[in-house]
A and B are shown apart, each in its own frame.
Chain A
Amino acid sequence: ILNVEQSPQSLHVQEGDSTNFTCSFPSSNFYALHWYRWETAKSPEALFVMTLNGDEKKKGRISATLNTKEGYSYLYIKGSQPEDSATYLCAFMASGTYKYIFGTGTRLKVLA
């Protein structure tokens, strides 16, 4: 059974703080790792698609790194804002299946 874990489950940070969370996934049969941002009552929004070991991607104040050999990805948010409050999901995709296996998400609350 393939397992994808995210930590922490939730966290509260102050506006302006930088933060990061982790997604751990199987290191074998890796095809891609996707990060999504999910606000309540909305559709999960794609943030990054990461495919190569050592990948670093950035979108505004949010960035992500990928280590496929050890099976983890970090998501970083610099200078958190209240509008960053959401659940951040990672989804692992194994080669051959091309189906997502999701982590449970990290629920971020940015306090003004």
Chain B
Amino acid sequence: GAVVSQHPSRVICKSGTSVKIECRSLDFQATTMFWYRQFPKKSLMLMATSNEGSKATYEQGVEKDKFLINHASLTLSTLTVTSAHPEDSSFYICSARDGAGRSYEQYFGPGTRLTVT
């Protein structure tokens, strides 16, 4: 099956610093990638949709200047949490959609646990 990697799996950073999370599709070309956030005991919430070569589309309530998304190639999207604060501590997970697929199925990375101290 399609494999998506995500790095790092866990990161602790100090308040005010920026953190970059990478999402890679390893064996397929991902024209579209998605970034989700999960709060404890809540469902995965879509933050933004990232299309290769164009600007990301952010969901309502998600600050685009806070969560910078870059999808520069068909196999890599990055999420940068800028000037992180403790309330940004969360679980972030990416997914990728195969450009050749027709079912709109998404393949997920294993997620990144961000802790901001």
Q: How far is the CA of A45 from the CA of B17 in the complex (A)?
A: 33
Name the CB-closest residue of A to B44: A102
Q: How far is the CA of A99 from the CA of B97 in the complex (A)?
A: 11
In A16-59, which residues have CB < 8 Å from any B CB? 31-32, 34, 36, 41-46, 49, 51
Please tell me the size bucket of the interface on A.
20 to 34
Q: B109–A104 contact, CB under 8 A?
A: no
B46 at the binding interface (Cβ < 8 Å): yes
Question: Quick one: which of A36, A42, A49, A100 contacts B110, CB cutoff 8 A?
Answer: A42
- Chain B interface secondary structure, helix, strand, loop or mixed? loop
Interface size in chain B (residues, C-beta < 8 A): 22
- Chain A interface secondary structure, helix, strand, loop or mixed? strand
Q: How far is the CA of A4 from the CA of B43 in the complex (A)?
A: 9
Which residues from chain A contact B108 at a C-beta distance below 8 Å? 36, 43-44
Which residues from chain A contact B44 at a C-beta distance below 8 Å? 89, 100, 102
